[in-house]
Amino acid sequence: MNLNRLLLPVVFVLIGLAGAQTPPTPTPAAIRPKRADVASQDSIIKALYNVISGPIGQKRDWDRMRSLFVPNARMGAAVRTKTGIRYFGFDVDRYITMDDKIMTEKGFFEKELHRHADTYANITQVFSTYESRWKQTDDKPFERGINSIQLMNDGSRWWVVSIFWQGEDDKAPLTPDWLP
């Protein structure tokens, strides 16, 4: 019998237990969250949409955004290309670097249209239908889609662990199940 085949599952369990017992790194004092932003699943989702939304010329409160996420949180998008769906992933700071200028120069408003959440113990998976506009007064959104948001409660607050989204297109329209 191969000893490696017997030990490998044990190693994975031990690594998993060690990682599971490591709490998130405390948020630096400079970017402590607003308690109201992280008190509930609803409040952290509302804070996510609020922090990225604003009119032309308004700088976003990126420290507020950072305060919502666990350290090393991931963000990403499934994007349709000519050759199929591709994943584009990044961390929170990369998202800020990519989007700060366009959000400030063009304005950007994203709002939640519908939500479906499933919770087990301290983790929650949220599917949040969104629509995006450059100005709040735009007649139609320039994009709609689904945000897949993973949340964790550490016993004292909610954290965003990851956000992964896909925009609506002709091959993936939003059906009535995903709309209000």
Residue 2 lies in a domain: no
Look at residues 34, 25, 89, 94 and name the one whose alpha carbon lies nearest to residue 61.
34
Residue 4 lies in a domain: no
Residue 148 lies in a domain: yes
> What H or E segment, with its residue span, contains residue 141?
none
Look at residues 131, 161, 125 and name the one whose alpha carbon lies nearest to residue 146.
131
Strands 109-120 and 84-91: unpaired
What is the domain count for the chain?
1
pLDDT for the residue 25: 47
The answer, as to whether pTM is greater than 0.75, is yes
Domain of 66: which CATH number? 3.10.450.50
| Domain with 165 in it | 28-178
DSSP per position, 103-131: HHHH-BEEEEEEEEEEEETTEEEEEEEEE
Q: Encode the chain (180 residues) as per-residue pLDDT tens digits.
A: 444 444 444 443 444 444 444 444 444 544 678 899 999 999 999 999 999 999 999 999 999 999 999 999 999 999 999 999 999 999 999 999 999 999 999 999 999 999 999 999 999 999 999 999 999 999 999 999 999 999 999 999 999 999 999 999 999 999 999 999
